[in-house]
Amino acid sequence: MKLMARLRNQKLLSVTLLLFTLSIGILIGTLINTAVRAERAQVTAADATPLEIPNPVQLSTAFSQLAKQLGPSVVNITSTYGTRENQRVRSRRGTPAPPDDDEEDQGGTDLFRRFFGQEPFGDLPQRPFPRRQATGSGVVVDRKGYILTNFHVVEDASRIQVKFNNDPTEYSAKLVGSDPETDLAVLKLENYNKDLSPAKIGNSDGVQVGDWAVAIGSPFGLEATVTAGIISAKGRDIGGTEHQLQKFIQTDAAINPGNSGGPLLDIRGEVIGINTAIATESGGYQGIGFALPINLAASVYNQIIKSGRVSRGSIGIGFQPDQKPELLRSYGASHGVFVTNVEPDGPAAKAGIKIEDVIVAFRGQPVTDGDDLVSRVSATPVGTDASVTVLRGGKKMDFTVKIGERTEVWKNDERFRRFRQGQPENEENSTQVKFGIDIQNLTSAARDRMGFKEPGGVLVSSVAPNSFAEDIGLEPRDIILAINRQPINSVDDVQKIQRALKPGDAVAFRVMRGALVGRNGRGEMQWTAVFAAGTLPENP
């Protein structure tokens, strides 16, 4: 019995060992097969080198440090208009804000636009912009809560709120003062007790074309957006006669709706301009943005915080912004400003300056052009006596002019709507002359009908397309009073002068241009002197 039991145990042990051995073999076979498959898979890209992620390295710090430095100084501004029952987004100066249901979009096809907010479009994330609000940007310039921004961002706003980056709280701000002529405004935060980081002010006179430029603002409400580019140009004039003082810095740093009022910075992080406008046909960024130089902005800011308003000097004369060199030459001048208008009872009129004088120097320094004169007179304190040198009849004359306050000097000035109604009564009597115009003598009836009181002159009945006259700006219904300072009383006078001229001669016309004072063309006819000049071509 013991022998039988021992044999059974031995048999069981042998079976167990056999099963164990088979299991080990199966396991080893599986591992070998897996390794072989992996090896075969690797063979298909045996010459490839695995990619390795390097340790993080900060490749450039200039723009990132600048963004960190200026981020706390740039704010988002929300302006609310009207009452809760009657609030709407304004659409001023070509701003492409969404119109009311019964109102046209004033943005239209204007090329130059000042932006303070617009609903997103294209592929941008759709975020709701209440039609009763508009957004823009601003820059903190004083630790006590003073902010510099564009006037059109807050104009007519019943409520102004300010937000800082990474701070969801909206803080109230009040308007300290504004200057529509430069489109600037100063705000002050109310009930804000946190530490502020004012931006460092630079010197825009030192900016050079090709320098780096960085814009920070809230385009389309996207706060703390940083864009970079270069300075494309300086001294750009896009404001027209209503904004003579605005000579912009042009940049290709991306500026979009909502950037208005934000800073344009140099590579040191100093503010060199206040972003104001862009040139666009689509309503968005197209590579041409404009910023008001900080030197001018700082001057405006300093006056506003001192007195709440901006006071500028004026001598009360008018001139043509597109003054031709031929006009100066025909009056014996090589430089200066040709006076086309003298405001009655203004400083220049009181001093004795007249229409057709050429201002060649102001306070002893030569005057190059109208922009130069406006800039220097505007910066001269009101009440100051200033010497003005003019060229009259080829002779220099000096006058002492007391600088007046701009708004007071021009308080009686009205903007005229050019007279475009009707045609000359007797076009059949017109005479064609080689300047490219048809002219006719003025009858007493025509003078009475047109409200023209001055003696002499001939009426321009038509201007030929692509002619010399059209090129220099003559228009139908102009009255020619003089050519090259020679009085014109009849068609014969024009023909006589014309025969004495040859190609290459400078020709200057003094004309009177009519406009009706008042709304909708109703009111009294007012005639304004206009001077047109050019070089006579081969075939005028």
Q: Catalytic residue positions?
A: 152, 183, 260
SS3 track for 175-244? EEEEECCCCEEEEEECCCCCCCCCCCECCHHHCCCCCEEEEEECHHHCCCEEEEEEEEEEEECCCCHHHC
Which amino acid is it at 293?
P
CA-nearest of 94, 62, 340 to 214 is 62
Half-sphere exposure of 473 (CA within 13 A, CB side): 18
Distance CA 469, CA 282 (A): 35
Which amino acid is it at 291?
A
Give the bridge partners for 291, in sequence order: 249, 275
Helix, strand, coil percentages for the chain (3-state, nearest 5): 25, 30, 45
| Lookup result for tokens 């304190």 | 381
Distance CA 301, CA 71 (A): 22
Q: State how far the alpha carbon of 365 is from the alpha carbons of 59, 143, 375, 394, in Å.
A: 51, 40, 13, 19
CA quadruple 78, 275, 318, 498: dihedral positive or negative? negative
Q: How far apart, in Å, do the first and last CA atoms of the chain sit?
A: 144
Distance CA 160, CA 175 (A): 8
Distance CA 534, CA 468 (A): 8
132: CB partners within 8 A, 6+ apart: 80, 81, 82, 84, 87, 88, 89
Q: State how far the alpha carbon of 36 is from the alpha carbons of 26, 43, 90, in Å.
A: 15, 11, 75
Question: What is the CB neighbour count within 10 angstroms for residue 196?
Answer: 18
Q: State how far the alpha carbon of 501 is from the alpha carbons of 359, 507, 522, in Å.
A: 27, 8, 41
Q: Can you tell me whether residue 33 is helix, strand or coil? A: helix
CA quadruple 99, 102, 106, 107: dihedral positive or negative? positive
Distance CA 491, CA 218 (A): 62
Q: Can you tell me whether residue 134 is helix, strand or coil? A: strand
Q: State how far the alpha carbon of 262 is from the alpha carbons of 73, 195, 296, 314, 325, in Å.
A: 10, 20, 15, 30, 39
Are 154 and 175 a contacting pair, CB within 8 Å?
yes
Distance CA 309, CA 299 (A): 11
